[in-house]
Chain A
Amino acid sequence: MDSLANLGDILGLIAFAAAVLVTIATPSSEGSTFNPTTKGIMIAAFGTYVYVTGAKVLGDRLAGTYIENFDDYIEVLFPVLVLMAVFAAYSHQQMLDLQRSQRAVKRSYDMMLEIVDAAASGMMLLDSFGRITFANDTARAFLDLGETPDTGQIQTPGWTVKCGDQEPADDFRGLLLDGRSEGIPVAVVWPKGWRVDLRVSVSPLSEDSGRIGGYVASFERPSRI
């Protein structure tokens, strides 16, 4: 029985020491579930048992020394280190999944933006006050829209907008209707006197709460007068 016990200790020592070396030789990277943190903790976990089995193999030679007395306490680290290793791997996996989904969303957003910019129609997003928050390339070119460098907010060249019978305003507040509408007559007048007559279609955007969070407005390119 004693020889079986000794064999187990020696086999354990050699195998755990080899496991430490193999883990050290395994490349880790931030782009993999086997990241440097997981690797470090795995080395520590296997190393714990190199110590424990090593102390058992040396046995009598260590009797009464700190090394022998510590092995019971060192052993308790193993399950805790294993938990830390799996948790580090799991957290890293979650982070990688999140980064992948963010990249997919960005690719999808960039593609939609290219489609919208390539459209011949002018397209705009209006906030709940009628201010332009987004305009595609056609709308930007046609309405002379610029952008504030710091904030990216859209700037108008100072034109006024008259929607139907409403009073002229410096934004599209006249388009803020409860439902979807098509062919609303809109006159845009530049400070220099240019005037453009548009037929605008507008559709409200609902937020998760059901409230209207903004509007999508689109128009075909007319000719300037």
Chain B
Amino acid sequence: MVTAPPISEIARLVIALAVLPFIFRVARQIRMSGTSGPWFAITIGAVYASYLFTIIESFVAEPLFNALQHSSYGVAGVAGLLTAIETRRQVLEERLR
């Protein structure tokens, strides 16, 4: 059965999409060595995917998209942790120089 997604979920996606171009525009200008950049992009991508899946599940294949939404949290968490570890490695390397 198709039910309309809660307004809060749509509003969340709209706000997230409105902010996205600014994140990419500014982040591209930050000089980053190592792999923290790609992990950071995966974190954001997985979080945005969860926003999208939670809306899609209201229209189609609810169990599948619900599982994808929650799996996205796991992917985002792991990528976020790798971002933090890589950032720490870069900062410590920078201090040694």
Contact = CB atoms under 8 A, between A and B. Distances in A.
A58 interface: no
Contact of B63 (A1, A14, A56): A1
Q: Is the interface of A mostly helix, strand, loop or mixed?
A: helix
Interface in B1-46: 6, 8-9, 11-12, 15-16, 19-20, 22-23, 26-27, 29-31, 44
Given A32-B91, A32-B94, A86-B30, A49 B66 contact: no
Interface residues of B, number: 46
Nearest to B50: A75
Given A76-B12, A83-B23, A4 B67 contact: yes
B87 A8 contact: no
A90 B67 contact: no
A73 to B, nearest CB: 7
B67 A25 contact: no
Given A46-B84, A79-B19, A82-B23, A56 B12 contact: no
B76 to A, nearest CB: 6
A10 B85 CA distance: 20
Interface in A22-57: 22-23, 25-29, 32-34, 42, 46, 49, 52-53, 56
30 contacts: A1-B64, A1-B66, A1-B67, A4-B70, A5-B66, A5-B67, A5-B70, A7-B70, A7-B74, A8-B69, A8-B75, A12-B77, A15-B78, A16-B76, A19-B77, A26-B87, A27-B92, A27-B95, A28-B91, A32-B94, A53-B77, A72-B12, A73-B8, A78-B47, A79-B15, A79-B20, A83-B22, A86-B27, A89-B30, A90-B27
